[in-house]
Amino acid sequence: MNILTSPWPWYVAGPLIGLTVPLLLLLGNRHFGISANLRHICAACIPGKVPFFSYDWKKESWNLFFAAGILVGGAIAATLLAAASPSGIHPQLENELASYGLSYSGSLVPEDLFNWPALLTLRGLLVMAGGGFLVGFGARYAGGCTSGHAIMGLSNLQWPSLVATCCFMAGGFIMANLILPFILHL
């Protein structure tokens, strides 16, 4: 049971995620990606004649079940397979968070920043609402999210996915090392 309750190393979890791509292709020529589900949900629920949502979303309903499986699997893992002690963060990261005035209370995200009252501060709006908008806009503008491009697109040797993945990585490095420290000092 310990194998299910403790984090798996990258060299096990990574290849398992990567093997999802050929499995989906072999089982029905399906493409892996999560961000397209929002479009499928909108196409199913919005009765208007918006051209972007006018397609046969039912052919892609398997992807909605895949995303629902991720949510259900996460809920099962969090309740039935919870580890005795939560995963921690590296002490060096804990010190860096303290330099920004954020305390570490044992969860993987700083509760000083990720809570409802913090959302109503400038820092909270920039990090949560602004960041969420930029991630959603970037996924739509790039034609897919990081998982779709980095896992599915690169495995199919698609040039646009390589460009998108390089831009996602560069943006992540710039955000984590240049912009986020500035925002956290607000």
More confident of the two residues 21 and 75: 75
Neighbours of 40 (CB within 10 A): 20
CA dist., res. 26 & res. 133, Å (int): 35
Give the pLDDT score at 38. Answer: 82
Residue at 49 is within a domain:
yes
- The two tokens of residue 117 are 């009252």
Question: Is residue 176 domain-resident?
Answer: no
Asked whether residue 126 is assigned to any structural domain, the reply reads: no
CA pair distance 115, 41, nearest whole angstrom: 27
**In sequence order, which residues have a C-beta less than 8 Å from that of residue 36 and are 6 or more positions away?**
60, 63, 144, 148
Give the pLDDT score at 99: 86
Q: How many CB atoms lie within 10 A of CB 149?
A: 25
153 within domain boundaries = no
* Residue 159 is assigned to a structural domain of this protein: no
Total count of domains within the chain: 1
pLDDT of residue 84: 67
Q: What is the pLDDT of residue 105?
A: 76
- In the predicted structure, residue 164 carries a pLDDT above the cut 70: yes
DSSP codes of every residue in 65-132: HHHHHHHHHHHHHHHTS--SS-----HHHHHHHHHTT----SSSS-TTTSSHHHHTSHHHIIIIIIHH
pLDDT digits (tens, 9 = 90+) for 106-148: 777 777 777 888 888 888 888 888 888 888 888 888 888 887 8
Domain that holds residue 28: 1-85
105 part of a folded domain: no
pLDDT in tens, 67-107: 899 899 989 888 887 766 666 788 898 888 888 888 777 77
Read off the tokens for 81: 């397979």
* pLDDT, mean of residues 155-167: 88
Q: pLDDT tens digits for 6-20?
A: 778 889 988 888 888
Residue 73's alpha-carbon distances to 70, 80, 81, in angstroms, are 5, 10, 10
Residue 182 lies in a domain: no
| Token code pair at residue 1 | 């049971």
Residue 118 domain-assigned? no
